[in-house]
Amino acid sequence: MSKIKGAASAAQRSEVMKIAVSSEGPGLDSQVDPRFGRAAGFVVVDTESMATEYVDNGASQVMAQGAGIQTAERLSSLGVGAVLSGYVGPKAFTALQAAGMQVYQELDGRSVGEAVRCYTEGSVSPAAAPNK
Amino acid sequence: MRIAFASGKGGAGKTTVAASLAVVWPRPCLIVDADVEAPNLHLFLQPDLDAAQAVYLTVPELDAEKCTACGACADMCAYKAIAMLGGKPTIFADMCHGCGGCFEVCAPAALNRGQRELGSLQWGRWNLNPDREQALLMGKSRVGEAMSPPLLRALERAFASPACKDAVDGPDILIDSPPGVSCPAMTTARMADALVLVAESTPFGMYDFKLAHAAFKKLGLSLTVVMNRAGMPGNQAGDAALERYCAAEGLPLLARLPFDMQAAEGYARGNLPPLGPGDNGRAWRGRFESLQQALCRWIGGQPWPDLADTAQQPETAAQTRAERLCDGQGAAEARHA
């Protein structure tokens, strides 16, 4: 069962060019920010060239409500196909799904570079439900 | 006259003061539980409650066939209740504040009017005073509902309605407010003519009291203070600091309700201090009767009564307004005279 699921996610992954990792800092050495909607920022990685770009998320951090939805909108407008984070709330998850993005959760506690490696090696599976 | 009881810090004594005053109020009054996220007045006043009436907010629902994905609704929404995702609007009804702006800007009329349940309103009658029944109105937020101001506005409409005026025998409304200084507390304070800040003289209580004063004074309401848990062992400095603050800010301090373990134990069992047993209950009843009189005189206007002169009747022109407010009592006294 897990093999079939892994194969499906690998097939989906091959189409994804850009992934966004919630991050406490601007580079691959930075720690994954466990929060999605109120993450400090995102390291956006092109999985072909491995070029990185940092997207500040400060405007969403200070929102009274709707931080996760706005963050999903921001990443969607950048053409991101998959999101790697720690915990994703129900509204953010719905928003990411509506935008057609895959969600990978519980990748906190490591560097952004390590999280990207988990993704490219296929050792993590996309989430089917929010974990917060 | 609508009198709200508020505090910065939760647990300062709003409910105790509001409910105890309702018990000793000299004529029938309506008591309103506006702490809709955690209503508890009914635990103390033990009303017979009518069936709950659900309250709804109008929220948008998308008609995907009519939608042209122009994005006008998402641009209009300040609360992210509508977001353009994957090239089409996604509606998050939980986030909607009910302003109705999205309906106005939707050119193809692709938004239908749906409903989100906010919570309920419940009327009740209580008779802890055996000689009479009094009315209670309780707002109760739906579990999982994040916003209370729309429900609070429905609560206000209910107690401002002609039906309510018919059902309640007097014009006085005592409102137990939500704690804090954010939207629920401010929304409730705006319904009131006068606001009583119940303050606790602990460091935490003092800090939140100052926040509350700073926030509420901007509403242009009449503000007064009741110190609760005064004389707590080892906290003379806290009591003095609260008194100094009130004096410096021109806030009338209408009562210093003492810290009393017997009252606290009774409260924990759901008993209000003025209804406690023996001398202790009688002492508390006296304190709240004095506070009620001081409150009515204060509402009538300056000079503000202090604790020392709660037995005196200030002779000012404004006194007549105070008598109107408390005319049940005033008229009774006049008849005796």
- The yes-or-no verdict on residue B207 having pLDDT over 70 is yes
Q: How far apart are CA A17 and CA A80, in angstroms?
A: 8
Confidence of residue B223 (pLDDT cuts 50, 70, 90): very high
Of the candidates B255, B282, B277, B279, the one whose C-alpha atom is nearest the C-alpha of residue B266 is B277
CA distance, residue B85 to nearest chain A CA (Å): 5
Instruction: Determine the Cα–Cα distance for residues B75 and B105; give it in Å rounded to an integer.
Output: 10
For residue B314, the model assigns a pLDDT of 38
d(C-alpha A70, C-alpha B87), whole Å = 15
Say if A94 is an interface residue toward chain B (CB within 8 Å).
yes
Residue B57 pLDDT exceeds 50? yes
pLDDT digits (tens, 9 = 90+) for B248-276: 999 999 999 999 999 999 999 999 999 99
Chain B nearest-CA residue for A75: B85
Phi-psi region of B40 (alpha: psi -120 to 50; beta: other; left: phi over 0): alpha
The pLDDT of residue B163 = 80
Report the pLDDT averaged over residues A87-99: 95
CA-based end-to-end distance of chain B: 26
Put simply, the answer to whether B85 touches A73 (Cβ < 8 Å) is: yes
Question: Does the structure show a pLDDT above 50 at B313?
Answer: no
Q: Tokens in use for B126? A: 């209580």
Put simply, whether the predicted model's pTM sits higher than 0.90 gets the answer no
Query: Which residue is closest to B82 within chain A, CA to CA?
Result: A69
DSSP class of residue A99 equals T
The whole-angstrom distance between A18's CA and the closest CA on chain B is: 16
- The answer, for A100 touching chain B at a CB cutoff of 8 Å, is yes
pLDDT at B333: 35
Which chain B residue lies closest to A81 (C-alpha atoms)?
A: B86
Contact A63 B146 (CB under 8 A): no
How far, in Å, CA of B126 to CA of B289, rounded?
19
Q: Does B81 touch chain A (CB under 8 A)?
A: yes
pLDDT value of position A43? 97
A69 vs B88, B92, B146: nearest CB: B92
ipTM given for this complex? 0.77
B177 secondary structure, DSSP code: -
Give SS3 for A45: strand
Q: Quick: pLDDT tens for A30-83.
A: 999 999 999 999 999 998 899 999 999 999 998 888 999 999 999 998 999 999
Q: Are B5 and B17 in contact (CB under 8 A)?
A: yes
Burial environment of residue A3 by CB neighbours within 10 A (0 to 12, 13 to 18, 19 or more): exposed
Q: What is the pLDDT of residue B86?
A: 86
Which candidate in B62, B79, B80 is best for mutational testing of the A interface (most A CBs within 10 A)? B80
A76 in contact with chain B, both atoms CB, cutoff 8 A: yes
Q: Among A89-93, B179-183, B295-299, B302-306, which stretch is predicted with the lowest mean pLDDT? A: B302-306
Q: Do A69 and B79 touch (CB under 8 A)?
A: no
